[in-house]
Amino acid sequence: MNLRKYLVLAGVSVFAPVGDSLLSYGMKQVGNISVRDIPDLLLAITNPWVGIGIVMLLGFFASYMTALSWADLTYVLPASSLGYVLLALIARFALHERISLTRWLGIALVSSGVGFVTSGPEVTKRPQRPRMADDSAATEHP
């Protein structure tokens, strides 16, 4: 795997937890809103923390789509689970949330599984079906 692919996976792993954390921080400032009240939803976007969080989550989505264009979902999703560790650290130290020992153990368990997943191939090799003589004639255009 080349540097560009590592950077894309790093983007997936960093943009999501940072975006989620900023969104959480901003929504705590905004207060309770309801999906039924569209103006409140739109007004929430004007909170700078919510807006930056959305931009970061768009960065996550772009990185995620890029990663899925060259790797299997079963490789990309677990590889991005390192974001859980970052999210827990941000939640604990920046948002001052309490994280129980059980949650820390769960995060450690999920993250340790990443090693198993990343040791395998990033793309499933699909067998090529043999080309028949008729296939080339059918794809030619007069």
Report the pLDDT value the prediction gives residue 118, as an integer from 0 to 100: 67
Q: Report CA dihedral (93, 94, 96, 97) to the nearest 10 degrees.
A: -90
Report the pLDDT value the prediction gives residue 65, as an integer from 0 to 100: 95
Instruction: Map tokens 């129980």 to a residue.
Output: 100
Q: Is the dihedral of CA 83, 84, 85, 88 positive or negative?
A: positive
The neighbour count for residue 66, using CB atoms within 10 Å, is 18
Q: How confident is the model at residue 27 (pLDDT cuts 50, 70, 90)?
A: very high
Report the pLDDT value the prediction gives residue 105, as an integer from 0 to 100: 93
Report the pLDDT value the prediction gives residue 46, as an integer from 0 to 100: 93
Phi, psi for residue 120 in degrees, rounded to 5? -90, 180
pLDDT (mean) for 43-50: 94
What does pLDDT average to over the chain? 85
Distance CA 65, CA 73 (A): 10
> pTM of the prediction?
0.75
